[in-house]
Amino acid sequence: MNELLPSQPSKKPTLSGEAALRLLRDTTEAVVVINDKNDIVLFNKGAERLWGYTQDEVLGHNVKMLVPEEIRHKHDDYINRNRETGINTIVGAPREIIFQNKDGDHITGELTLSSCKMGDDGKKYYLASIKDVMEENYRKKLLDLQNTVFQSLSTEMQIQDMCDLVCREVENFVPNTVAILVLGSALRESLAKGLLNLHYQPQVEAKTGALYGVEALSRWHHPHLGNIFPSRFIAVAEDTGQIEAIGAWCLEEACRQIVKWDRDGIVVPAVSVNLSAGHFRKRQLPEMISNLLTQFGIAPTRLTVEITESVMMDEIKDTMDVLHAIRALNVGLSMDDFGTGYSSLSRLTRLPLTEIKIDRSFIMNLEHDANAQAVTTAVIGIGNRLGMTVITEGVETEAQYELLESLHCDVMQGYLFAKPMAPKDLETWYRQPRKIMPAMQKAQTQKQVQKQAPSGQPKSK
């Protein structure tokens, strides 16, 4: 026997279950354990530091609350597929994953998953160990940036050149940082100075061609930066915490414009305003809308609030209470861009919606895409049966109009009728003859015949 080998211990060391749990709870790395229902059953101190939640705030909740909102709808499917198939595509090798912390910020961690079966029935539990790679990477990049600045100060570099250098280094530190800082600052200043404006795109009744309403769309022309695309500045507004201020401004400006149109003899039945998902988590939103209606003396039916599919997926009680409170004011609620995300038709019955807007992506190839036709037909049919007005966006050709009209779509919006316009341009459009489709002409003729029919005689049908 090799005398260098240690002798066998008289008793093998063991670790009690309580001691193991204490070790998991106190370890510096984040550890999360979920049960067979994907509910969190362990959330240690490292996880509390990483996500910003306390243990009490997450225990018993689905683990999808820790991932970005845009992928929560399919997170259970990833895990359940592993449970059912046993194919370990998510277990084993470490990988970088993006999470979402309590403040709504995205964080990056190196995730390692393991699984084990528990109990007599063999239910599968998962243990996730997450290393905060962002903190480590940022610390190194910050030291590199600090060294660059110190080296620059020891040279004869001009101040402007040094500023340019620092901006480039910061851009490498966090991509788009400089652009976001510049645009965010300019946006905040523009909002304070009233440099944002609303354009309005008409929505036309499919049968008659009558104006159903308009959608308010934010526009930003900066005196030095020029026209900033909405997709760009809305993203910046979300990143810099200004999106709710823009939404509040849109509501107030839309109400002010309704009053002005009424005074000028422009009859716009309703204005739709887009709000972000964050607005609907604020309990004061219904009160704010109510106050605006009172302030401007506008009937609630003149205003429609558009929600996104992410709001529809968010079935938190506070959000649902806000939606029902808005509808209780008799303000319209419209589901914007329906079909682009992960809508569930069953959820439509649980929301107090008055409208569904079919996204333009379904309309682009409507004449040639059987799948798009099938989805559009189904949504129109369900919307009609639920008593909702169905609006189709992106209608650009007469062929699209004719097909949608044959499917009994209620309202259409798109360049076939009018582009988004400044208020003065919309007034001009309103007073001019509008594009009339054959089906609209037929409806108008029937209406005139009914008006002209002598009293006591049956009217034409």
**Cα separation of 338 and 309, whole Å?**
7
pLDDT of residue 201: 97
Please, which pLDDT band fits residue 87 given cuts at 50, 70 and 90? low
Contact 335, 390 (CB under 8 A): no
Who wins on pLDDT, 75 or 445?
75
> Between 133-153 and 159-173, two packed helices, what is the crossing angle to 10 degrees?
170
Structure-block tokens of residue 259: 């009053």
Three-state DSSP class for residue 87: coil
Q: Which two tokens stand for residue 343?
A: 């809508």
Condensed to tens digits (0 to 9), the pLDDT of residues 412-440 reads 999 999 999 999 999 999 999 887 777 77
Rounded to 10°, the helix 423-431/243-263 angle is 40
Tell how strand 30-34 and strand 196-205 pair up: unpaired
Q: Largest Cα–Cα distance in the chain?
A: 121
Task: Please state, in angstroms and as integers, the Cα–Cα distance from residue 42 to each residue in 39, 48, 61, following that order.
Answer: 9, 11, 11
Give per-residue pLDDT as tens, 116-128.
Answer: 887 777 788 888 8
Buried b (16+ CB within 10 A) or exposed e, 3-19: eeeeeeeeeeeeeeeee
For the cut 70, the answer to whether the pLDDT of residue 311 exceeds it is yes
- At 368, give phi and psi (nearest 5°): -115, -10
Reported pTM: 0.61
Looking at the DSSP bridge assignments, the partners of residue 228 are 220
Confidence label for 169 from pLDDT (cuts 50, 70 and 90): low
Determine the pLDDT at residue 7: 52
Length of the chain: 461
With 0-12 CB in 10 A as exposed, 13-18 as middle and 19+ as buried, what is 431?
exposed
Segment 14-26 mean pLDDT: 68
pLDDT value at residue 184: 80
Cβ atoms of 237 and 246 closer than 8 Å:
yes
